[in-house]
Structure 1
Amino acid sequence: MAKPDPEELVRLVEAFPGPSVEADGPDRGGPTEAAEIGRVDELLDGAYGALTRRWYPELRRRAAAHADGDCLRERVLEHVEAVPSFRLSDGPTALTERREALAEAAALTDEVREIAEWYGTLRSRLEGDRASLTRAERLLHDFGYALAHVLFLGASSPGAVVRRLRLAYRSVGVRIDETASEGGIEETTFTCPYRNVAAGRCGERWVCHEKLDRVDDGYVSYLAERGISYQRPRGCAGSEQCRSTVARDGPARWWPKTPPAAVGADP
């Protein structure tokens, strides 16, 4: 599936099935509907309100800026991945009461289901796949994938993987600033020397995040096949540093990534 062009991305974003900021007021649809929406937000621990009132307007802003050439696609994807969420599982363990809450919310308004479907489409289109890359990007991805077979040989845990990953970072001049390990998640904070390469011609971080990170995508593909989730850096906006995480890839479920029907929570 090819990545959307900027204009198509704007259309995808504008197809949001939830309320607009203008419509999402206390009188939206009358007191009955407002009460129902309030109940939905309560059931979903505030995720619904945070998504519609704060996250979505910022998504619209970034999509418009991307269409104008003022925002990297990576920054849009970064925001999409940071969507307010409502957990439905703790790793592989289903959280029954929370799934029941999702079912009740979905029974109150179709928007709960529709937003999940819209989000799934948006995220899959933004992430694309190998076939959506340019020839140069595919070469970088495939180089990273091939290199991963050597770099991560014998590494089967997040701790082992992150040690190899930090070695790879250092080998290309990346400075490791801070490391942390908590709850099975290995985090690395670093400073990349390539963030401003060709910034005057292509924009800040364009070479780093739009092109060179395709090598990291090769790592992501390799590790995902082996049950390891490598969250490579995204736009790293507002900071000179970038962060990446490595963790065991588990079947975590959360709304809106997981629609109600996928966890038996359809009304």
Structure 2
Amino acid sequence: MAEEAAPAVSTLRGELISEMLAVAIIITLGDSAAAMITLYDPSPYATAYWGVCIAWGLAVTIAIYVTGAVSGTHANPAVTLALTLFRDFPRRKVLPYVVAQVAGAMIGAALVYQLFGPVIDAYNASHALTRAQGGAAGVFFTAPGLHITALHAFWDEVVLTAILLLGIFAITDEFNTSAPMANASALIIGLLVACIGASAGFLEGWPINPARDFGPRLFCWLLGWGESAFPGPDHYWWVPIAGPLVGGVVGAGLYQFLVKPYLPRRR
């Protein structure tokens, strides 16, 4: 008589650990790439910005491969919100998922600080900057680029995150015959993140994820970056939260109402 298969164990605790780990991976690798472009002169990415974008994209891919089988690797409150509204993700899990994602981002920021702390201090000293003045803040969290106001940045993030969720919903739709197979979807999602960064990253650092910005920003606020973190220049802190949340709903809605109803019917 064949042995009975062990029952699948899927607990909220495991899902939250998975989400925390996923975001920690993304921030550790992504903010380390940001440190490489910010702290070193000449930067190894001075004429190869695409390398930064690929680093962020591959960080997302790795996070999905590590944690996707446990939690689905939302790793982004905008993704969690969109899945709740359009794909029946349980509402009771939304707040715990978001808290885990922000905690993971703080852990990632702490690891980056541990790695690059001496370089950060040397950079600030050589540029006569303090943490309160925002010295090396670009390693950890985003800010408006040249000629970009906070309000303009908000609309940028709506558009960019809408593209992100439009792509994610298409890539992960089992009825979309043009979508990649399951084992390739993580790589394509990572390339989508890299593509968005390559196309518009200089606007405000393409946060497209509230946890990606808020967690490291909160970590830095606690470690002496003060008002340069909260409220940030031009009271910018709310933009990487509100913009992606709105944009995620817009992008997911576009897919659900303008694409999904017209997919070829399966027999």
Query: Which is richer in strand?
Result: 1
- Greater RCO (Cα-Cα under 8 Å, separation 6 or more): 2
TM-score category, normalised to shorter length: under 0.3
Greater fraction helix: 2
**Over alpha carbons, which structure has the higher Rg?**
1
